[in-house]
Structures are given as structure tokens and as C-alpha cells.
Homo-oligomer: A and B are copies of this chain.
């Protein structure tokens, strides 16, 4: 397969980082900061980190070296998010080409099945493939709207993307291993991007368990929007768990196991728990299935002056693990609503739909809101308050104010 290396790797050195997510573990590892591209952005702000210097800086907001958000206005007119515009949220430093080696020889062990096996990527590719469109969304997308002081990147809407993934269905892998062992309750994916850090796997390994049923839709992906999966997005191989929050789509996956219990690593047991403000612990629910959600992508304060007259209000709507069925739009902060139209192709229940409402606005200020439904659930008005600012789908905070002249 002839594909450019440009999209796969940085071909530059990718150092360990001393940022918040691993700072507490730094004692055992050689921590060197990630380098940023020498050139600042044209507006004077920071350039891209070198490990993703192929990304589209204009489309991105840099919160940190491992938290990079897509501008609200860089999503929404087309349906699939170009790779160069897709947000970055890494817990570990992206693996380098040198650490990965020959991509075709990348290994993944499969256990909790009748006949446990280890597959190379080349072997997986002989089991058949498919393409699915899913929403990749960080559990903390919308954290920037919470009123209490929440640690972590202050994402608004842009820790989300709609991506076409290509890979082997987990079902085909399971079939090649004789089926799932009886007693399994979870599908557990383990990343190996912690390995080069030398950090304690219990604290640094991204290992995530999801309910076993998720395996029916899941794939092990090696392509992202038709390009080889970039290292920065978990290449050469990543678990894609449609309908589940980003963290469950484990990058640099080296192990897939059907297990009776949930993983006991930090990223499963204590991180990503939706707990009341001021409380924490593994007794609280983890970030699994995504709720129904939508947001307006234009017009916004990013998209320039809006002139009085006919205005197209457009955005994206996702149903979570069910198809998005309808979207309503309000121009008066939620006092009255009109049904918007879905436009463009339907890429399946795990993708988002584009929506549009044409309306006429005279000069003045407006609060534009959108509210999606998947048939069973409708977006609530308010956020669910929680300690770390996860799973925000309240429509009120996601509203935008515009001035029409």
C-alpha cells in the first residue's frame, strides 16, 4: 500500500512530557518536554507541537501539548472531520516510529477467548475489514462550560470529530479465536504507549474495559479517513468502540481481552469517573456510552458579521449509541423551538448528522441553541454537575450569542 508517511508520523523526535497528566509519576522516568514547532502561529500564539506538525494550526486551539481542540467553526459544513483538523487528547506521549517499528509487525494478543492468539497487523488484515463512521469525543468535551474550577483542558465543543475508520471487526477476530470464553463480562483493551516511559503500568497504562456487548460494533482500526492511522491518533492500531467516549477507543492497542472484571489500572479505576463535585472513587460510573448531543457550528462569534435577512443556522447532532432522530433550533435562548432539517448523507447511527435551519433575523442579538433527540432521549437544558466536568450535553451552555447587523 503506497501512502504518505507525512500523515503517519512526525519523523521528528517525540519526547516524554512533564505535563499534568503524568507529573505525579515523573520520579521514575526521564521527563523531557515535548518540543513545539519553532514558528509561532501567525496570530502570535504557540505553534503546533512537533509530533503533530502536519495538523492544521488554523483549525486548532492549543490548550497544552496533549490537549488540542478543534475550533467550533472548523466543524460543521461538511460531515467528516479532516485528519488535520481532528482534536488531540493523549494521556501518554505519542509513540514514535522508532518505538513502533515495522507497522505490519505490530502485535496484539487476544485472550479471554476459546483459543487465545497473538496477531500481527498483517495477520489481522487477512481477517477482513470494514469501514465505519463514528464520533470520537473526549469525555471532557464541554468541560469549559462548567462553573466550578475543573482540572483539565477547558474544552468547549471541539474535543469531538466525525471520522471514517477502517479496520477489522472485533467479531471477526473473536471468530478466528473460537469465540468468547464463558463468563466474560467486559471487553478490555490495553494500550502500550506507556511502555517507553518506564512508568508503572498500573498508573500509566491506558487500559479500558467496556461492557462485552460493545464488541459487536467495535473494530481494530488501522486507517483514519483513508490514511494510515497516524501515530498521534494511536497508530498503527486502535480499538474503536462506537458510541463510547474517546478514552475507550484505546490507542496503540497491544492487548484485547474478554474479562470477568474491569481493569484495575488508574485510567479505569479512578480516572474518568463521573462523581459529584468534591467526591471521587471507583464506585461512581465511568465514562462509557455517550449521550445525545448537538451544537451549532455557524453562525458563531468566530464566523464573522451576520447580516440581517435570511440566515442559515447549521450544526451537528449525534445520538450516542442510537441514531440521532431530530434536532430543534431556538434563536431566543430556548423560549421557542423550530425543527431543523438533516442534510447530507447518513453515515450510520454512530456518526453525526449535519442539520440546518433557514430563518430570517432582523438586527439585534440572538442566543442560538440546538436540542437533539435520538427517539428515546432528548438533550437536557442543564449540565449534569460533576467533579471532573465529564459528559456535558446540556443545550443551554452550548448555545451561542450572535449579533445581527
Task: Write the nearest CB–CB distance from A276 to chain B, whole angstroms.
Answer: 37
**CB of A347 closer than 8 Å to a CB of B:** yes
**Do the beta carbons of B128 and A79 come within 8 Å of each other?**
no
Given A3-B56, A345-B347, do A164 and B129 touch, yes or no (CB 8 Å)? no
CB contacts under 8 Å to B, within A65-83, are: 71, 73-74, 77-83
**Do the beta carbons of B2 and A78 come within 8 Å of each other?**
no
In the assembled complex, the Cα of A225 lies from the Cα of B226 at a distance in Å of: 11
**CB of A365 closer than 8 Å to a CB of B:** no
Cβ-neighbour of A303 out of B1, B78, B223, B344 (below 8 A): B1
Given A3-B58, A79-B164, do A311 and B343 touch, yes or no (CB 8 Å)? no
**Do the beta carbons of B223 and A77 come within 8 Å of each other?**
yes
**B-contact 0/1 string along A312-349, CB 8 Å cutoff:** 10100000000000000000000000000001110110
**Do the beta carbons of B311 and A78 come within 8 Å of each other?**
no
In the assembled complex, the Cα of A129 lies from the Cα of B357 at a distance in Å of: 11
Q: Which of A93-101, A130-138, A263-271, A368-376 contacts B (4 or more CB under 8 A)?
A: A130-138
Chain B residues with CB under 8 Å of A2's CB are 58-59, 71, 73-74, 302
Task: Write the nearest CB–CB distance from A48 to chain B, whole angstroms.
Answer: 11
**B-contact 0/1 string along A47-59, CB 8 Å cutoff:** 0000000001111
Given A1-B73, A80-B226, do A128 and B358 touch, yes or no (CB 8 Å)? yes
CB contacts under 8 Å to B, within A102-135, are: 125-133
Chain B residues with CB under 8 Å of A345's CB are 131-133, 164, 347-348, 351
Task: Write the nearest CB–CB distance from A84 to chain B, whole angstroms.
Answer: 6
Given A1-B77, A82-B226, do A129 and B314 touch, yes or no (CB 8 Å)? yes
CB contacts under 8 Å to B, within A201-247, are: 223, 225-227
Chain B residues with CB under 8 Å of A188's CB are none
Considering the complex, give the chain B residue whose CB is closest to the CB of A357. Answer: B128
* Listed residue (A59, A132, A311) with the most chain B CB atoms within 10 angstroms of its CB: A59
Given A84-B4, A226-B82, A226-B85, do A129 and B58 touch, yes or no (CB 8 Å)? no
Task: Write the nearest CB–CB distance from A79 to chain B, whole angstroms.
Answer: 5
Given A4-B56, A59-B4, A347-B345, do A78 and B128 touch, yes or no (CB 8 Å)? no
**CB of A310 closer than 8 Å to a CB of B:** yes
**CB of A14 closer than 8 Å to a CB of B:** no
Spell out A's residues near B (CB within 8 Å).
Answer: 1-7, 56-59, 71, 73-74, 77-85, 125-133, 164, 166, 223, 225-227, 298, 302-303, 309-312, 314, 343-345, 347-348, 351, 354, 356, 358
Q: Which 8 A-B pairs have the closest CB atoms?
A: A131-B344, A4-B56, A78-B226, A2-B58, A78-B166, A82-B226, A130-B343, A78-B223
A80-B80, A80-B226 are known; give 18 further A-B pairs, CB within 8 A. Answer: A2-B73, A4-B57, A6-B84, A7-B56, A7-B82, A78-B131, A78-B226, A82-B83, A126-B310, A128-B358, A129-B343, A130-B343, A131-B345, A131-B354, A133-B345, A345-B347, A345-B351, A347-B347
18 contacting pairs across A/B (C-beta < 8 A): A2-B73, A3-B58, A4-B59, A5-B58, A6-B84, A7-B82, A7-B84, A78-B223, A79-B226, A80-B164, A81-B226, A82-B83, A82-B225, A126-B310, A129-B312, A129-B356, A132-B344, A345-B347
